[in-house]
Structure 1
Amino acid sequence: MAKMGSRKHLKRFKSPEHWPIHPKENKWTVKPSAGPHSIEESLPLLIIVRDILKVAENSREAKIIIGNGDILVDGRARKDYKFPVGFMDVIEIPKSEKVYRILPNHKGNLVLYPITKENAEFKLCRIEDKTTIKGGKTQLNLHDGRNCLVEKEYKSGDVVVVEVPEQTVTNHIKFESGTIGLITGGKHIGELGKIKEINVTRSSKSNTVLIETDDKKTFLTLTDYVFVIGKDKPVISLPGGN
């Protein structure tokens, strides 16, 4: 019995710190399915429905709501209560007309921020890698696990604007000086600023980026922690009206 539980569930003490675990869960909690985000960088859909949005009082109710297709992730009904939801994903509840985007706060926790219906029609995806496939087309490998075929030239680190659920690339933001970056890791996680300088090293050390905040303070962070969200201003709505 314990062996079966270990496949379907996760020991509570092994769950990521940012998960707001239900107080009635003791030894076990829900284990995310294999999906677009790792366990450390995601929230299971059941925890979102029950513990964050509180549209269900317990796991049974949450599973029914999810199983009925009442929760959309990036425009698609997800009926797997273990589905991993992560950074930049859009959560929509059509019956209540509420929409949220998942972003990190300053404590490094993934938080659901309310957004407008218009803002929910697209998401931003960072290009982690790209490959050339048969026929000379380019396949982009994006941060949320999806792959897109494109004809234009893009670079790793750039961010594409993707319509959901169609998965059509409609625009892109270059990873370059002058653009607006959201910090997704390190001690400055959740902060926003303009990219002043990109430092490319010729050693085993990681590349870094110099960020300037609105109050003219500057700090260095790793390239991998910078997610560009706009050229002159953010293209997504952010907490605090940014």
Structure 2
Amino acid sequence: MTKKGGSKHLKRLAAPAFWPILKKEYRWVTKPSPGPHPLGRCIPLLILVRDMLKLAENAREAKRIIFDGEVLVDSKVRRNFKLPVGLMDVVSIPRIDVHVRIIPHTIKYLWYVGVPKEEVNLKLVRIENKSLIKGNRLQLNLHDGRNILISREESQKYKTLDGLLIEIPSQKIVQHIPLEVNKLAIVMDGRNAGRIGRIIEIQEKPGMSRRKFLVTLEEASGHRFQTILEYVMVIGDDKPIIKVSEGT
């Protein structure tokens, strides 16, 4: 029989550079299962528990914690130790009162920040695109693989790359944050990943994909930098609506 699909295994040397693992201590590492986040933008749940949160000394202990249903991701019990955990996912371990959110980091690319209990059931997501489905309804497709159904009357309100604050796991929309000038945003990819700034200008060019538009952001210090809309996620007006960094 011919081989179907990719490899089920992953060598440590081939793992994403931001994973907090020793590359040469062992040969193999847990490979994330297919899910809402791609390999280059996620961390397996086992590595999060063992190497980032330091709740286990080895893979066997981490698996036991996960298999026992101690770990919740976005307010749902997850027993798959290969589950890909990515941007803005909320990971909770209620027994020891640990609640963290995965955020972009200026050095580590993806890291976590502790969140207060009142934010455990809140998640910030970005609208990637919209789809027309049966029943003349629209579906918002979000960056973490979620889908939210809306009516045609609401379709003009929500635009691609806008931000949404939703309740989890119900997916009820709490707040809509349009992507526009003067909004606060965080960079989620590229060499400026993790930086937060106010959108000063969006340079639109005819014939160019909106995702490739150049955007200028200004940090609280007054320093300005540029990236593309593809890498930007809006997080609020004057301040982030939820905690997305140590200083917020």
**Pair 1:198-2:202 in alignment:** yes
Q: Does 1:35 align with 2:35?
A: yes
Question: Is residue 102 of structure 1 aligned with residue 102 of structure 2?
Answer: yes
- Are the aligned partners of 2:184 and 2:199 in contact in 1 as well (CA < 8 Å)? yes
In the alignment, is residue 237 of structure 1 matched against residue 243 of structure 2?
yes
TM-score (norm 2): 0.91
Structure 1 vs Structure 2 CA RMSD: 1.8
Question: What residue in structure 2 maps to residue 122 of structure 1?
Answer: 122
| Percent of aligned pairs with the same amino acid | 44
Bigger drift between 217-226 and 30-39 goes to 217-226
Q: 3-state SS of the aligned residue for 1:95?
A: helix
Kindly indicate whether the alpha-carbon contact (under 8 Å) linking 1:132 and 1:139 is maintained by their aligned counterparts in 2.
yes
Which letter maps to 1:21? I
In the alignment, the residues of structure 2 paired with residue 168 and residue 44 of structure 1 have an alpha-carbon distance, to the nearest angstrom, of 27
* Counterpart in the other structure of 2:174: 170
- 1:22 and 1:7 map into 2 onto residues whose CA distance is 21
Contact 2:106 2:192 in 1 (8 A): yes
Question: Structure 1 residue 218 and structure 2 residue 201: aligned?
Answer: no
**Displacement over 4 Å in runs of 4+:** 22-25
Distance 1:86 1:26 in 2: 24
SS of residue in 1 equivalent to 2:96: coil
CA distance in 2, matches of 1:21, 1:109: 14
Distance 1:68 1:190 in 2: 33
Measure, in 2, the Cα distance between the counterparts of 1:213 and 1:70: 38
CA distance in 1: counterparts of 2:24 and 2:80, whole angstroms: 22
Mapped to 1, the partners of 2:243 and 2:116 lie a distance apart of: 8
The answer (yes or no) to whether the contact 2:109–2:193 under 8 Å persists in 1 is no
Establish whether residue 227 from structure 1 lines up as the match of residue 233 from structure 2: yes
Deviations 1:35-87 (CA, angstroms, capped at 9, x unpaired): 00001000000001111111111111111110111000000011000000000
TM-score (norm 1): 0.93
Q: 103-112 or 122-131, which moves further after superposition?
A: 103-112
> For the structure 1 residues 22 and 94, does the alpha-carbon distance in structure 2 shift closer, same or farther, using more than 3 Å as the test?
farther
Q: Is the 8 A contact 2:13 2:24 kept in 1?
A: no
Once the two structures are superposed, residues 141-178 of structure 1 have per-residue CA deviations (whole angstroms, 9 ceiling, x without a partner) of 10001111123231001011110111212221000111
Which amino acid in 2 is paired with 1:216? Answer: G
Aligned residue runs from structure 1 range 63-74, under 5 A: 63-74=63-74
| C-alpha separation in 2, matches of 1:200 and 1:82 | 40
Shift of 1:203: 3.7
Query: Are the counterparts in 1 of residues 109 and 194 from structure 2 also a CA contact under 8 Å?
Result: no
